[in-house]
Amino acid sequence: MPSRWRVALLSVEGLVKHFPLGGARAWLDRLGGQAPRSVRAVDGVSFAVAPGETLGLVGESGCGKSTVARSILRLVEPTAGRVTFGDVNLTTLSAEPLRRQRRDLQMVFQDPTASLNPRLSVGRTVEEPLRRHTTLGTGERRARVAEVLAQVGLGPELAGRYSHELSGGQRQRVNFARAIATRPRFVVLDEPTSALDVSLRARAILLLDELRATLGMTYLFISHDLASVKYLAHRVAVMYLGTIVEEASTAELFARPLHPYTRALLSAVPVPDPDVRRARIVLAGEVPSPIDIPGGCRLRGRCPLAQPVCAEPVTLREVAPAHRVACHLV
């Protein structure tokens, strides 16, 4: 095991999450004499996050990045694999000890509106995790709520307001406040900036980074927005169809992307400079169904560089210091 894994705050090893197909399709499979197939949303993912670090997990819709997040917090039960937080194996914890871990392990969801209870005031929303996960008294809880609201840049007068009275940017700040109220060591951010407008996005990124630095937190930052990832993450892992295809430091990944998928993804991001014309690396077609995943390299049906060898299984291997790639041709 690489040495950096030993100091990891959170490590994920061989994570698998398959959603069995139900209904008519499972019935048809059985009728055809096969076992019912599954949606192989996450199909063997390993990574580690060091204390104080932000790991960016990027990929397009359906690549399994949100399922990784949910599996870590066991909002869905992993099919296989192990998630270790500190020295606790989260995957085998029963309900009560798992609940106790949630004080240290929080999540910010993508939709800032849908993830807030419309019938709770802002103050009550932020207080809720303190009631559930701490032994603080009423006065202490109230003080913590005021402190946390200030940390995310919300005035104390907002504590009595309800979700519908807030702007989109304020709602997302309430979500941040709720996530950090119990002083967690680790926060999973699932597309926290995707629903935000341009100017709010910049502020949210800067705020999240400042909170991490001042409160000593560690982030798993899940996003399809590569520019946001570049500003917030120290390291980036790129997912495609349920597996990680490349992992490197942020500077290295953006300067020297090696996997054809990463290169295609980066070349597709529109650059706000009309004088820059980059060669776009175009992948053929669309992402295949995670039910019928091709053998060998999962990208080979779309990859412009594909060779016969790509039909062989491919594993993530270190090609430069701390730069891992899963490609036969690199």
Partner 1 sequence: MSELLEVHDLTVHFATEDGLVEAVDNVSFSVRPGEILGVVGESGSGKSVTAHALLRLIRPPGRIVRGEIRFEGADLLALPEARMGAVRGARIALVFQSPRTALNPVLTVGRQIARLYELHQHVAPAEAWRRTIEMLTLVGIAEPERRARQYAHQLSGGMCQRVMIAMAIASSPRLLIADEPTTGLDVSIAAQILDLLRALGRRTGASIVLITHDLGVVAEACDRVAVMHAGQLVEIADVHTLFKRPLHPYTQALVRSIPRIDREVAMEPIPGAVPSLLAPAPGCRYADRCARVLEVCRRERPVLRAAGASHEVACHAVEVESGTAVR
Which residues here bind partner 1, judged by CB under 8 A? 60-61, 167-169, 197-203, 205-206, 224-228, 230-231, 254, 264-266, 268-276, 280, 282-283, 285-286
Closest to partner 1 by CB, 100 or 278: 278
Could you give the C-alpha distances from 130 to 135, 192, 210, 227, in angstroms and in order?
A: 8, 22, 22, 34
Closest to partner 1 by CB, 215 or 268: 268
The pair of three-digit structure tokens given for residue 193, joined into one six-digit string: 């900036």
Residue type present at position 45? V
Angle between helices 138-151 and 198-215 (to 10 degrees): 130
Q: How far is the CB of 134 from partner 1 (least distance, A)?
A: 33
Q: How far is the CB of 325 from partner 1 (least distance, A)?
A: 19
Closest to partner 1 by CB, 8 or 208: 208
Q: How far is the CB of 313 from partner 1 (least distance, A)?
A: 25
**Taking the CB of residue 284, how many other CB atoms lie within 10 A of it?**
9
The pair of three-digit structure tokens given for residue 85, joined into one six-digit string: 């937080």
Largest CA distance in the chain: 67
**Residues in contact with 263: Cβ distance below 8 Å, sequence separation at least 6, in sequence order:** 257, 281
Q: How far is the CB of 287 from partner 1 (least distance, A)?
A: 8
Could you give the C-alpha distances from 132 to 69, 148, 262, in angstroms and in order?
A: 22, 17, 41
Q: How far is the CB of 104 from partner 1 (least distance, A)?
A: 29
Q: How far is the CB of 270 from partner 1 (least distance, A)?
A: 3
Residue 72 parent element (H or E): helix 65-72
Q: How far is the CB of 168 from partner 1 (least distance, A)?
A: 8
Closest to partner 1 by CB, 133 or 302: 302
Q: In what order do the strands lie in the sheet with 105-108?
A: 105-108, 186-190, 218-223, 54-58, 235-240, 243-249, 323-325, 317-320
Closest to partner 1 by CB, 83 or 266: 266
Closest to partner 1 by CB, 161 or 224: 224
Closest to partner 1 by CB, 105 or 266: 266
Strands 80-85 and 54-58, bridge-based pairing: unpaired
Q: How far is the CB of 317 from partner 1 (least distance, A)?
A: 25
Residue 180, classed as helix, strand or coil, is helix
- The span from the CA of 140 to the CA of 174, in Å, is 19
- The span from the CA of 137 to the CA of 139, in Å, is 6
